[in-house]
Structure 1
């Protein structure tokens, strides 16, 4: 654990030295909260919760997935990952330690958006907080693994803008933030529900407003998206074991 924390502190120092990354992490979320609050509708908690959970999905995609793809690629090409594997750290500890600061930023932004939704948009106390928390945590874990897999397909940091684009675009459609599910054909909506980010945002929305259900009713409704999200996590882990690259691509 000490080695993992030391690796996380080293990554945090690199993050603090990157002004653009620091701006995106600390400053950019603030106006996003205001913009989202201005788009909220009074007396529509379901619609407002979809806006907020869509923002949480953007945090998972932008902060966790995209940033980690570039981080893993950069550390691999600089031979950092290869050197770390010669020490006492396990492969999982290296991946977690490298992702530590990014995950911390994601947690802070999620808390900011949740607080903004509660204060500025009048969203109620979560109907089922464990389901909301599970959706956020499991979604982050799944996209950490997907980021590690995507890094294996990315030769350089610059190419990450291209290799991550399909996942970013398709998963954003599945959040319902830009394209509400009821505005697309049923077949397309069914396909979008199977994407890895869709069950995470659905769990967070269910845990927050519950669609009129009770605590136990939300648990029953959350079973299907929770199972799908767990399946994506397992597939991501198996893919990491099979395809993740620890040495530079030549």
Structure 2
């Protein structure tokens, strides 16, 4: 726990000092999230539950997943991960600490933009797992993707397939009637998150909360298991 706190604190310090990283990890996702809310306020076509799902998936994808992958690749290139591994901290503590700022930033963004949503009458039961399981899954996938990202500049390429799975799944659910969302669709993380927000906002016909949460957690566990086997700690040449 002490190692995790020290490393995470150092990561927050580096995040504050990097204007580019802060803008890409905070400003861009917030701007896109704001556009989603403005579009929903203008047209009302998606409905508040679906709009909240699209918003949450956008934040999870860009901040927790893409920024998390970029951060891990950058720390490896700077030999930070190798030095931390020699400090006696466990591998799990190091990876968790490095990914803590993107995770916390995602939660802060979701909280900030939630003030623009109508939260009256929502069900917190499905919403909290959508947020927490979504962030955990994105961070786990970030660790896995970072194993195949030799440089932070390449993160924009290596994160594309999974980012499309997140965003594409959310859009797929958004265009599907709530009752028509099946288990096969929920295999995509973005689809599961969006369906959970629909359930939270009591969208008629939306169900499957336990299945969506379970599939998100299975994805996270599988990503962690794979990342621990293939993660590269030394700079890749």
Interval of TM-score (by shorter of Structure 1 and Structure 2): 0.7 to 0.9
Change (3 A) 1:102 1:33: closer
How much has 1:211 moved relative to structure 2? 2.5
1:18 to 2:14 alignment = no
Change (3 A) 1:157 1:15: same
Match of residue 203, structure 2, among 207, 211, 227: 211
CA offsets, 1:184-240, max 9 Å, x none? xx99x8764321222122223312x12348xxxx8x731221221121112112111
CA distance in structure 2 between the partners assigned to 1:162 and 1:50 by the alignment: 28
1:160 to 2:155 alignment = yes
How much has 1:130 moved relative to structure 2? 2.4
CA distance in structure 1 between the partners assigned to 2:93 and 2:30 by the alignment: 32
Match of residue 214, structure 2, among 227, 242, 247: 227
Q: Which residue of 1 aligns with 2:120?
A: 124
CA distance in structure 2 between the partners assigned to 1:233 and 1:30 by the alignment: 24
CA distance in structure 1 between the partners assigned to 2:121 and 2:3 by the alignment: 39
Q: Which residue of 2 aligns with 1:195?
A: 188
Gaps of 5+ in 2: none
Greater C-alpha Rg: 1
Q: Which residue of 2 aligns with 1:81?
A: 81
Q: Which residue of 2 aligns with 1:182?
A: 176
How much has 1:247 moved relative to structure 2? 1.5
Change (3 A) 1:146 1:44: same
How much has 1:42 moved relative to structure 2? 8.8
Q: Is the Cα contact below 8 Å between 1:82 and 1:247 reproduced in 2? A: yes
Gaps of 5+ in 1: none
Q: Is the Cα contact below 8 Å between 2:170 and 2:194 reproduced in 1? A: yes
Q: Which residue of 2 aligns with 1:7?
A: 7
Length-normalised TM-score, structure 1: 0.82
Q: Is the Cα contact below 8 Å between 2:25 and 2:62 reproduced in 1? A: no
CA distance in structure 2 between the partners assigned to 1:62 and 1:239 by the alignment: 22
Question: Number of matched residues?
Answer: 235
- Match of 1:235, SS state, is helix
Length-normalised TM-score, structure 2: 0.87
1:64 to 2:64 alignment = yes
Q: Is the Cα contact below 8 Å between 1:50 and 1:176 reproduced in 2? A: no
CA offsets, 1:4-40, max 9 Å, x none? 1221121112111111232345544555455334322
Change (3 A) 1:192 1:26: same
1:141 to 2:136 alignment = yes
